[in-house]
Structure 1
Amino acid sequence: MTDVLHDTRAAYDSVAPLYAEKFSDILETLPLERAMLAAFAELVRAADAGPVADLGCGPGHQTAHLHSLGLSAFGIDLSPEMIALARQAQPHLRFDVGTMSALDLADASLGGILASYSVIHTPPPELPAVFGEFHRVLAPGGHLLLGFFAGPDPEPERFDHKVTAAYRWSPDSLMNLLRRAGFAEVARMLREPHENERQFQGGQLLVRKP
């Protein structure tokens, strides 16, 4: 395990209960994110290409939301403490400890991937390999919904996230990496930060594996 993975896991393990308490109902305050999730779910259901993995699922609140939208969804997270909380909160759903860079999933086995702000801690040189892994496990016609902090600069910008170091990306730069990994753009969304959020735009990229 790289130092970044080790540090990220340790950081999220240490804040897991507080994180779960703070973010378990966050979707209720994010109508645009809910709209993107609804569109993602509709596309995944129509393609009928397999289940959906919520990668970096944390305490499982978005996995549960995907389930409520009619998807066969399960969660994977680097943090064992987060997975323990997810299993406690959503005992009817599957949650596994794992890494996005080496998924224990068969080729073309998923109909969809949700990665909601879960690649923000990945060092930029390592992100193409993560997107390649996403492409490997998605079936043709499968969709990926990627959430991220957006910035204006073409180069990724490192910042001090409240949990551990993170990066924000311009949507175009991030989309270029996704295209190189074999994805086609379906839609994108940018929104301004809410009052209690860090003063960065929130971004969503919805892409498809042809």
Structure 2
Amino acid sequence: MGKLVSTLFITLDGVYQAPGGPEEDTRGGFEHGGWSFVYGDDDFGRFVIEVFDRSGAYLLGRRTYDIFAGYWPHKTDPADPIAAKLNALPKYVPSATLTDPSWAGTTVLSGDLAKEVGDLKERTDGELQVHGSGALVRSLLALGLVDTLHLVTFPVVLGSGLRLFPEGTAPMAFRHTGGRVTSTGVSIQSYDLAGRPTYGSYADEDAGNA
């Protein structure tokens, strides 16, 4: 059985929209696309390659799929560690509107998300990886289907854009499993989903020490 692993780029104020380029995602009049680019370095590149080395299949939201499908099929160098994986391994897209995907190896999921993704995890050898796809990741987290979340936080605040955990997100707890900081200040932290939050009170602790 594979693990479902999400890798997401976010800003310090939680924005995940359009990290890769100005025209990547302009919904809501978003004008800050490409905010992650200037922080790329060798540390960051090594992390990305490590992630793709563990992939067995990909689960992508429709918007992320369209962005990837417009770029990666044209990268045909077999020595490219990211393109080689993305083009060769199975890709799955939950969508009610995508009917004839052109990217080889793509399967459209149109049924019950929990069941279909659960089945994918059962039969995937290696990691079933989600890249970007913030709205899909929130749904998978709410269903308890995400095993590991790589949260890659860039040292920038944008003040607008789609946020990973907006108001109304289902409460959830995580267990920190490792991390590093790149030379440009990008914080790469890994978390395993750990169920619901637990609560306490410092007032109770102070009373016990009185």
The TM-score with structure 1 as length reference comes to: 0.41
Higher helix proportion: 1
Question: Higher relative contact order by CA 8 Å / sep ≥ 6: 1 or 2?
Answer: 2
